Amino acid sequence: MKKIREKWETKAQAENPSLNIDDLTWLSPEGIPIFPLYTKEDLQELENLDSIPGEQPFTRGPKATMYVGRPWTIRQYAGFSTAEESNIFYKNALKAGQQGVSVAFDLATHRGYDSDHERVEGDVGKAGVAIDSVEDMKVLFDEIPLNKVSVSMTMNGAVIPVLASFIVAAEEQGVHKSDLSGTIQNDILKEFMVRNTYIYPPEPSMRIVADIIEYTSKEMPKFNSISISGYHMQEAGSNLVQELAFTLADGKEYVRTAIDRGMDVDSFAGRLSFFFAIGMNFFMEVAKLRAARLLWHRIMSEFNPKNEKSLMLRTHCQTSGVSLQEQDPYNNIVRTSYEAMSAVLGGTQSLHTNSFDEAIALPTKFSSRIARNTQLILQNETKVTKVIDPLAGSYYVEKLTSDIAEEAWKLILEIDELGGMTKAVASGMPKLKIEEAAAKRQASVDRGEEVIVGVNKFRPDEKNIVDILEVDNVAVRQNQIKRLEKIKKSRNTKIVNEALEKLRKGALSDSENLLSLAIDASRARATVGEISTAMEDVFGRHKADTRMLSGVYGAAFNDDIGFQKIQKEVDRFTENEGRRPRMLVVKMGQDGHDRGAKVIATAFADIGFDVDVGPLFQTPSEAVQDALDNDVHVIGISSQAAGHKTLAPKLVEELKQKGGTNIIVICGGVIPQQDYKFLYDCGVKAIFGPGTNIPEAAISILKLIGISKN
């Protein structure tokens, strides 16, 4: 026993005789014990405590002066509707203090479809801006000087045509590609784990990553060739150790891939960047960013770079989306503020703060201004920029930094034993671990063990209905189709076809750089969809296996009388009907965010339902056919990308046409209260928003099934 802690324990026990000191230590979701008190004795085994900012291993920051020299870049991740609308938003935001542009693309663009494709009817302009060609990209950045404004683009699947269109748009603005600054995400491994906006199988996808790293290192020295993202892992339910380990392991795999292509590590490593989520465990998030720099230095040292910059981890951060709640939504402003402070104290290089209404719908101008001002106030009023790494030397933070680094390193070594991240992803190991963590956390919230203010405790008496941004998906799509038709009429079809054929031939061999070929095609006005399809003709389109966990959610309720009661209700239903209640969980459109769907599926299966999970990216017709083939009682539509008003009515209509009126339809996910009546009028029987208690939802659905059968 450490002497100082022993001294404190004696004093604490005397102060409160009934206190059990051991009960004050709790285990974080990462498996790290968190003690009630930390002292200098906790630092005795730790290394690098005497290091300074800008000095290896960069735990205290990659720059010596950090925010004293230059504050973090204030970004706002945004994009919606048309390029015209998004352009106005960007210009207004830049005038109001935003320092860089972060582009959100719609899901049709992410998945390499033009807006006129039949599979994207409900997706165009909904969760981001629709970009079909160079012409859209030119409108998007009209009057935004691309030689002065840093542009970050969250794009992975259709990364080749989107980056090509951006380069050509800049060229036609008079800006040479060598003067472009910013980041393209280009992180495909993460897509196979959690976000699912992939197009091609893993092997050709990794070739695309390498082609972009190679091209940008030679032609675009100010541009970051990849943003290795842990953000979407945490959003999918990972704990912080998993987020850290899997993200750094992804980075290590990309470095290996580039080196295997014959590239010198120093030619590209200094332009790699990272992207982390910042959730509500305040000090753990600070420690995670410090540990990330420490571990990346350790990883990159294996490759023997000569340039010190190759050893530095630089990161963008974004406050958590999954921590935002539909219930009592103004609480989200407070949550985001704490998360932003955590990111800054951890030493991020740039930051996006989420708007409080993003658990409900796309952010409005009002909510976006509050989110942006959160950073402006933090940067200009709190004086946090006056001291570098102010939490250094904290007994708690330093020990936490060491603990999270140690646990993440164990997981990185496990991945190495599997042969690297590509093979680990192929095995399904990372995805499974993340889904387990998500199910455990949901069970903890549903049991009330983890308090969410306004959701499972301290609920408001009345619901707050906030104004939302409504995007007319039909009008946006029609506008995009008109522009596509105009482009195709005005371009030289022969030159376009020749450029696309060169791209196909380039995809067949490793000797050509696909980005270079795509730039030529884009300049000729080939569309995003045409460029993507040309490569798909060679590579094929990836289809993921649908797997479902069992037992993880239910294990948290082993001793719960209420949960057992629900299971008995399911058993009673089974006795009466001769089979268990059967549910099909579906994701329609191009929304690959499947955390909610997976958690619901595993939870309902543990409750006693028979659960089928449909493949991603279904059309309403395909989902209905699955429901009929599996003879289900209920279809659960999981929506996170605002396509519910287009897709849910189509599904209900398909059910009617195919004789499935006995099957009830329910919706869950990010659905504004304002849309509830519309969905009910269309035939949806129940809606379950974020924060829904799953056992309570199961009881409601059982009753609905019973009503539908009577």
Catalytic amino acids? Answer: 77, 231-232, 587, 591, 593
Backbone angles phi, psi at 72, to 5 degrees: -60, 155
Under DSSP, the state recorded for 120 is G
Residue 165: CB atoms within 10 Å? 31
- Looking at the DSSP bridge assignments, the partners of residue 273 are 227
Q: Are strands 272-278 and 226-229 parallel, antiparallel or unpaired?
A: parallel
Amino acid at site 414: E
Amino acid at site 122: G
By three-state DSSP, how is residue 37 classified?
A: coil
Closest CA to 573 of 434, 415, 701: 701
Reading the block at residue 149, the tokens are: 């404004």
Q: Say how far apart CA 669 and CA 359 lie, in whole Å.
A: 9
Q: Say how far apart CA 202 and CA 480 lie, in whole Å.
A: 30
Contact yes or no for 609/582 (Cβ under 8 A):
yes
Give the 3-state secondary structure percentages of the chain, helix then strand then coil, rounded to 5: 55, 10, 35
Q: Say how far apart CA 537 and CA 352 lie, in whole Å.
A: 37
- The H-or-E segment that residue 74 falls in is strand 73-78
Residue 81: CB atoms within 10 Å? 24
- By the 10 Å C-beta count (0-12 exposed, 13-18 middle, 19+ buried), 299 is classed as middle
Under DSSP, the state recorded for 512 is S
By three-state DSSP, how is residue 317 classified?
A: strand
Q: Say how far apart CA 421 and CA 254 lie, in whole Å.
A: 9
Half-sphere exposure of 60 (CA within 13 A, CB side): 20
- By the 10 Å C-beta count (0-12 exposed, 13-18 middle, 19+ buried), 23 is classed as exposed
Backbone angles phi, psi at 342, to 5 degrees: -60, -45
Backbone angles phi, psi at 588, to 5 degrees: -110, 160
By three-state DSSP, how is residue 303 classified?
A: coil
Query: CA quadruple 655, 660, 664, 666: dihedral positive or negative?
Result: negative
For the chain, the residue count is: 710
Backbone angles phi, psi at 190, to 5 degrees: -60, -35
Contact yes or no for 139/84 (Cβ under 8 A):
yes
Q: Say how far apart CA 602 and CA 548 lie, in whole Å.
A: 6
